[in-house]
Structure 1
Amino acid sequence: MRELYVLKKSGRRVPFDRDKLARSVEVALRKRPVEHDRVERLVSGIVRRLEQSGDQDVASDTIGEMLMDALKELDDVAFVRFASVYRDFHEAKDFGDLIEELKAKEGGGAAG
């Protein structure tokens, strides 16, 4: 299997680190009631998709978006935690916008 590389926003190209991806997931899921094997499947699924893409170089943004999508399906709290760091939230309004995005995904709409 060929080695994957991550293209950072700074322009650097670094080897893909599965353990770093797994740590990011674990931090987002800290103290959440999610079984370890579900976490392992999530990480393995992302790695498999990256390997199957045919690209040796993958933008860090692509990995971040894949992880956000996976966390959104797995655990809303973990999704919000990861998104707040990944999207670099600066104010409470940013969280509100993200919650509205979650509500729309779940069919809850903006009505409350």
Structure 2
Amino acid sequence: MHCPFCDTPDSKVIDSRLAAQGAQIRRRRECTKCGERFTTFESYEVVMPRVIKSNGKNEPFDEQKLRRSLMHALQKRPVTQEQIEETLSDIQQKIRRLGERDVKSLTIGEIVMQSLYVLDHVAYVRFASVYHDFQNVDAFRKQIEQMQQRELNTSSGQSK
């Protein structure tokens, strides 16, 4: 690592620690020439798969687009920014774990819906209404009934 003070290409590591919940390594270094100390951070490069749209075109994964979708669905809901960031990170991790170079937008939408279902049911229905392009009240009603049935099945399964 080049010294930021004298540009010598050699430095030695004095201390290494995990940072950013284990996603980075913080290293304390000392220049072998001038003796100055400095800190570096190392992290792995996260490569998200490309997104295959429903029309067949593909585009790079856009974290900001995902964030906007979540924020829109969660608008005025009792969810903290920390929960939103956690959910965003969890969704991206699930997409990466698929191990694919290209992922259909349909698959991403389903992952988002699963995460929103756990986080906030109202946000789930909001997202589903746009994602599934609900055209009338009956479509909303059907989605809510399916959600309620899922809750009943889950709660009756836990009481056994």
Is 1:27 equivalent to 2:76 in the alignment? no
Alignment of 1:88 onto 2:133: yes
Residue 11, structure 1, aligned to residue 73, structure 2: no
User: Could you tell me the percent identity over the aligned residues?
Assistant: 43
1:65 aligns with 2:110: yes
Deviations for 1:13-63, whole angstroms, at most 9, x for unmatched residues?
Answer: 100011110110000000001001111111101111111211010000000
Flag structure 2 segments of 5+ consecutive residues without an equivalent.
1-45, 154-160
Give the structure 1 partner of residue 149 of structure 2.
104
Q: Relative contact order, CA 8 A, sep 6+: which one is greater? A: 1
- Tell me which structure has the larger Cα radius of gyration: 2
Paired amino acid for 1:71: L
Which residue of structure 1 lines up, in the alignment, with residue 84 of structure 2?
39
- Bigger proportion of residues as strand: 2
Q: Does the 8 Å CA contact 1:2/1:56 hold for their aligned counterparts?
A: no
Count, aligned residues: 108
Q: How far is 1:2 from its partner?
A: 3.2
- Using the size of structure 2 for normalisation, the TM-score is 0.65
Alignment deviations for residues 42-90 of structure 1 (CA, whole Å, 9 cap, x no partner): 1101111111211010000000001011111111110111000000001
Q: Which structure: greater helix fraction? A: 1
Structure 1 alignment gaps of length 5 or more: none
Q: Structure 1 length normalisation: TM-score?
A: 0.92
